[in-house]
Structure 1
């Protein structure tokens, strides 16, 4: 147990150095409605729009300039972007810009290691924050697109689980109507979590093995408070309640996301009647397809958006 705690401490220190992240208190107040947003100046106004709006520690909102009209007849589109662990803002900006140029507002979701390790204090709160955002702004959008990277797919699954709760029936119905497509980019499943966390935390192979072992121990010891929630999230993705089209972006040499498992998932979706598009590169690192093949990646996203519209 002491060695496991040492590993978790190492992960936390690594995360603080990378993201300057400090763990939240158990109770926190999230800001959801548009008129309550806290505004921050954007550092790159020429590439994105003029303001970045903070909703909570995990959620940030970017508004497309074309969506500023208050005319209720104007159809607005929302992208919910589920980031990978330790994602840097300058990398996420590339994806945000891609969608903003297509007329989407963008809600970015970033979870940290502790959000993943302790769902009741982390990913569950984040999921409900997202559900609240969708509920409070349901009349503003006719179209939702979800785009999930790596472990972000787990957080998206938590959103699906929360949408199935009785108290979220109204927003569940709205999401069924408005969710037009889902993009999975280098998505990992619960059985790949240990490997994914280890490789996201360090490039040192010895530490990777150590962290992977600690994570597997964590999954066994904390089944009731953690692992069962990872499985519920995974089930909500493998057996989706939302039958919208899916685009899967993956690579055969991805060291984190297993392409064989992903293809099995694709076949399961197709068997259930879901329309699935996919692109599998022979050589492309984890969550780096856009950076390695920018023009092709952009064309894939644009084509997918046209197909679902």
Structure 2
């Protein structure tokens, strides 16, 4: 199924004959004019044999010169991924080939980070971030300098034309140099933004696999090596694989066994990273749920405290109001307290139930359980009623007791 977006096109690809088991994830392939679409089938077959589906993104040649075209393509691609991941969330690995990192992929990162005018919803952005679990750079990233057009305008098929290749090469270089000169003033700011965005992808998590060759004339080894070192300095998990005899985007063709082993390891690691992310999200959700329960409990306790304070303010407001301390089981059988209540006339005074949790706590805290050995004497009155004060009596010396009796 082919979908068109401003600045390029993308489609789903999978060779079901190579793998019949359950799909493990999705590899998004970012390609540019420097790699033929037929050549991409080899990578689609590789990922399919390992149990991964492929979403192939083919960017237009002008995307590096017109970032808004790259943004439009990236936004359409993200919407396609969101629809798929909502149905079946799975690990997501981003694979950039040659200039695909500049023609579209870095705009994917900017949209996710909210650095573009095109915006996804917070839920969709969170879904994409949680699924991204790995990164692959094959002959990439390419440093976009002022001679970019002259380097990439000459298509590989044109180079292989005998005889007339020299004339065609001159025409292609002239067109490319004209584009570079036209956008030279914009290349400086775009180049800085491009590299900073690629470095920021470390925050998305997942391992990095960087595949390059010392003989690559379009993606210099020194540039890619510096990129890998910078990712490591930022905390990225980087595996750097270097060959000597492979051309630009030709590593899999020349070293299929080593290439397949490196990709297999990266994809397995991506599955592990995705599982850890999902587990972390589950634990975070559980903690948030516990926090909500604690917050509700605190609110209930605060409301109970407010209601209790209001009840205490109503106690002893008038001369006939009394505060009855709640008691334990003896409260119901205490005859004296019963007689006092019988003598009390008028509306029943506000009181607290002894059978409530708060009443039991107040009774245990305020009423002594053992009053033997206490001196009870009256020391005043409140509203015409005598008040009794109690003071615990310590054991006295027998001699002092005799002296007191003589007095």
TM-score by length of 1: 0.72
* Separation of aligned partners in 2, 1:207 and 1:239: 38
Q: Which whole-Å deviations, capped at 9, do the CAs of 1:40-62 have from their partners, x for residues lacking one?
A: xxxxxxxxxxxxx1122511112
1:274 to 214, 220, 236: 236
| 1:27-176 superposed matches below 5 A | 53-56=1-4, 58-63=9-14, 65=16, 76-120=24-68, 122-139=69-86, 140-154=88-102, 155-165=104-114, 167-176=120-129
Contact 1:86 1:112 in 2 (8 A): no
SS of structure 1 residue aligned to 2:218:
coil
Q: Which whole-Å deviations, capped at 9, do the CAs of 1:148-200 have from their partners, x for residues lacking one?
A: 011101111011111122534323322222111100011134434734x4233
| C-alpha distance 65-255 of structure 1, shift in aligned 2 (>3 A) | same
The residue number in structure 2 matching 1:237 is 198
The residue number in structure 1 matching 2:144 is 191
| C-alpha distance 213-65 of structure 1, shift in aligned 2 (>3 A) | closer
* Separation of aligned partners in 1, 2:140 and 2:255: 18
- How far did 1:123 drift? 1.2
* Separation of aligned partners in 1, 2:15 and 2:132: 19
Does residue 216 (structure 1) correspond to residue 167 (structure 2)? The answer is no
SS of structure 2 residue aligned to 1:117:
coil
| C-alpha distance 298-286 of structure 1, shift in aligned 2 (>3 A) | same
Q: Structure 1 regions of 5+ residues with no counterpart?
A: 1-52
SS of structure 2 residue aligned to 1:125:
helix
* Separation of aligned partners in 2, 1:89 and 1:75: 23
| C-alpha distance 200-213 of structure 1, shift in aligned 2 (>3 A) | closer
SS of structure 2 residue aligned to 1:274:
coil
SS of structure 2 residue aligned to 1:137:
helix
SS of structure 2 residue aligned to 1:296:
helix
TM-score by length of 2: 0.55
- How far did 1:214 drift? 2.8
Contact 2:23 2:52 in 1 (8 A): no
* Separation of aligned partners in 2, 1:270 and 1:75: 30
The residue number in structure 2 matching 1:296 is 258
- How far did 1:238 drift? 2.1
* Separation of aligned partners in 2, 1:96 and 1:88: 13
| C-alpha distance 275-213 of structure 1, shift in aligned 2 (>3 A) | same
* Separation of aligned partners in 2, 1:76 and 1:229: 36
Greater Cα offset, 212-221 or 291-300: 212-221
* Separation of aligned partners in 1, 2:258 and 2:179: 35
Contact 1:145 1:180 in 2 (8 A): yes
Q: Structure 2 regions of 5+ residues with no counterpart?
A: 160-165, 272-407
| C-alpha distance 192-254 of structure 1, shift in aligned 2 (>3 A) | farther
* Separation of aligned partners in 2, 1:68 and 1:102: 10
| C-alpha distance 182-291 of structure 1, shift in aligned 2 (>3 A) | same
* Separation of aligned partners in 2, 1:161 and 1:291: 32
SS of structure 2 residue aligned to 1:267:
helix
Cα RMSD over matched residues? 2.6
